A = this chain, B = another copy of it.
Amino acid sequence: MIKVNFTSHNKEVYCNKGDSLLEIARNADIFIDAPCNGNVSCGKCKVKLIKGNVDTEKTRHIKDEEWEQGYVLACNTKVIENIEIEVPSKLSSSMHGMKIEGSDNKKDKEIFDRAKKIIEENNFEFKTNIAKTYIELDEPTLDDNISDIDRIERHVRNNLGYDEIDFTLELLKKVPQIIREKNFKVTITYIKDKNKITILNIESGNTEDKLYGVAIDIGTTSVVVCLVDLHTKEVIDKASSVNAQIKYGADVIHRIVYSTKKNSLKELNKAIIDETINPLLESIYIKNSINKDNIISLVVAGNTTMSSLFLGVYTDFLRQEPFIPPFLKSPKLLGKDIGLNVNSNAYVFLAPSVASYVGGDITAGVLSSGIWSSEENVLFIDLGTNGEIVFGNKDYMMSCACSAGPAFEGGGISCGMRASNGAIEKVKIDKETLKPILTTIGDTKPVGICGSGIIDLICQMLINGIIDRRGKIHRDINNERIRFNEHEMGEYVLAFKEEYNLENDITVNEVDIDNFIKAKGAIYSGASVLIESLGMDFSVIDKVYIAGGIGNNLNIENSILIGLLPDIDREKFIYIGNSSLVGSYLALVSEDAKNKLKNIGNEMTYVELSVYPTYMDEFISACFLPHTNIEQFPTVRSILSEQL
């Protein structure tokens, strides 16, 4: 046996000669980002060999300087003797780290309030079918010796007025001891359905005030859980982390391919349930002193693939023509069925999907956006790992999905990261010195760059003449921040390691820019084709709702400048946050909203872009800054006039 010491994690593991370093790390639960899932194509799994020799090869992702320092790609490295390995902290912690987000964020509150208002405007009640009631049972005697369950039933029938009363097996197991703990004084938690109730939990004494629900957004890249007080309907806390499935691939396609291997469907399911959602729940319970048995209701939203993997359902036919999802609406689900760290009989509602690539995250997003009741024409764009677009109003809704990849969440970008602490979220470049002015989340030293930062950066590079409209760095600039490697690939240095005492420089290279241009081109062309399919154009748009984890600091002006968003009146753009999460929250606190969510997918017509005749041409035209046809961007035209 060979010993691998991950010095960065104080963890020693044993393996066989010839084992892949990436696999060893995965088995040891050490997170190494590998969006391409070990195909030696993305170059993200770079780790540093501290001691010992390995069987590896230098690839194009490793600079000479890095090679000398011992950097290798974990996926391309076989272990042959005892070694010591350092996993760069950016990969292991900032991508994987768990974050408890307060709900005190003002912008966040505005987003939730806006969504609540839509629900109110539609006369939906903020009312769930879940309740908790303190009851005092008669103590049993020889003359009143009915069973414990019958005693509860009798009380509920006589005092609460329900005729039909159901129980769960888990409740039954608790009842005899719980009711005797505080002399037959208990609190029951139940779900109502007309005149019938099902009792889900019983606690000794009066615990009426403790009644919670959880809304969960399962993004391909990030997962957010949101703890809600079901009495007050207030968000108590939020927590987020990277989706642990990311180790099996950055996008849904890589994960679906991986899921077809033996046992890997179970691994993917375990990654989302046991390694992502359950630890997030646990952290939020501890912080807020909450008993998981008091989590009685959940609403979960994710794209079609995430929804399937959440339930452990085989997904490969999603990927193969004719692209068939296993299901759109899920059956009734209980916490125990899925292995969630909540009350075993908690009701779990999974937002329904519309098609293979328009999932529950979009139906929930549409719910929170209010398009479905809008008189105005609304364009809804979700900038997630995939990009999904909905266009319509109260009379009709069209939807489509674009293969935008994970660029908006920092994926597919060499120094990319999600919008968490240390992420560069705003960039301004000084016209003279070409030096960047960086704003990071949490005002800490920079760790990487997130989606809104990349938009700013590319825009600034464009208007300051660093790149051309194809995204290529001008070869004639002489500046310390611009350099080219031996393959003639150019890169711009956002942060020298010496400036911030980093392990490596933070850079963005031409491949990153190219990836990003393809991502924004996919979104713009998708929106364009969707509206065109109705015989309309962008001029009919009254509102553009931008959703997604890209963050509050998305710069609309810059987004238009690079051709991500259409060049229309800036007042029309509204950032509605993580609309999938907000929609889930609404369904959690309002049964009416949940009923709306159940049916919203039926109101949406899905346009399959991959078979739409003009889509490919539109996409290629949009892979330009801002677009091949600059006439579509009149305001950009004037800004860039000197370059045209």
Contact = CB atoms under 8 A, between A and B. Distances in A.
Given A142-B611, A314-B177, A322-B142, A328 B172 contact: no
A176 B608 contact: no
A175 interface: yes
B331 A145 contact: no
A326 interface: yes
A311 interface: yes
Contacts of A141: 322
Contact of A337 (B169, B316, B330, B608): B169
A611 B142 CA distance: 9
A325 interface: yes
Contact of A149 (B149, B321, B326): B326
A332 B329 CA distance: 24
Nearest to A144: B322
B176 A145 contact: no
Contacts of A167: 327, 331
A170 to B, nearest CB: 9
Contacts of A500: none
A140 interface: yes
A312 B145 contact: no
A169 B608 contact: no
Residue among A141, A317, A327, A353 facing the most chain B CB atoms (10 A cut-off): A327
Interface in A319-369: 321-333, 337-338, 353, 355-356
A174 B332 CA distance: 16
Nearest to A338: B169
A324 B326 CA distance: 48
B326 A147 contact: yes
A328 B172 CA distance: 11
Given A142-B608, A608-B142, A611-B142, A173 B314 contact: yes
Nearest to A316: B176
A209 interface: no
Nearest to A321: B142
Contact of A169 (B148, B177, B311, B314): B311
A150 interface: yes
Interface string A142-175: 1011111110000000000000001111011101
Contacts of A314: 173, 176-177
Nearest to A327: B149
A150 B328 contact: yes
Given A140-B322, A611-B142, A328 B169 contact: no
A281 to B, nearest CB: 20
A313 interface: yes
Nearest to A329: B149
Interface string A165-195: 0111101110111001000000000000000
Contacts of A168: 331
Contacts of A324: 140, 145-148, 176
Contact of A322 (B145, B313, B323, B325): B145
Contact of A313 (B150, B166, B176, B355): B176
A330 B355 CA distance: 40
A173 B148 CA distance: 37
A328 B145 contact: no
Contacts of A317: 148, 176, 180
B169 A326 contact: no
Interface in A351-405: 353, 355-356
Given A142-B608, A314-B177, A317-B176, A166 B331 contact: yes
Contacts of A169: 311, 330-331, 333, 337-338
Contact of A147 (B148, B175, B327): B327
Contact of A312 (B142, B173, B327): B173
A150 B327 contact: yes
A605 to B, nearest CB: 13
Contacts of A315: 176
Contacts of A180: 317
A362 to B, nearest CB: 15
Nearest to A330: B172
Contacts of A325: 147-148
A244 to B, nearest CB: 21
A172 B307 CA distance: 12
B327 A148 contact: yes
Contacts of A166: 331-332
A321 B144 CA distance: 11
B323 A145 contact: yes
Contacts of A329: 149
Contacts of A331: 166-169, 171-172
A69 to B, nearest CB: 47
Contacts of A144: 322
Given A314-B177, A332-B166, A172 B142 contact: no
Nearest to A168: B331
29 contacts: A142-B321, A142-B608, A144-B322, A145-B322, A145-B323, A145-B355, A146-B324, A147-B324, A147-B328, A147-B353, A148-B317, A148-B326, A166-B331, A166-B332, A167-B331, A169-B311, A169-B330, A169-B333, A171-B331, A172-B327, A173-B311, A175-B313, A175-B326, A176-B313, A176-B314, A176-B317, A176-B324, A176-B326, A177-B314
Given A175-B326, A176-B326, 10 more contacts: A146-B324, A147-B328, A148-B326, A150-B328, A168-B331, A169-B311, A172-B311, A172-B326, A172-B327, A180-B317
Q: Which are the 3 A-B pairs with shortest beta-carbon distances?
A: A149-B327, A167-B331, A176-B314
Interface of A: 140-142, 144-150, 166-169, 171-173, 175-177, 180, 311-317, 321-333, 337-338, 353, 355-356, 608, 611
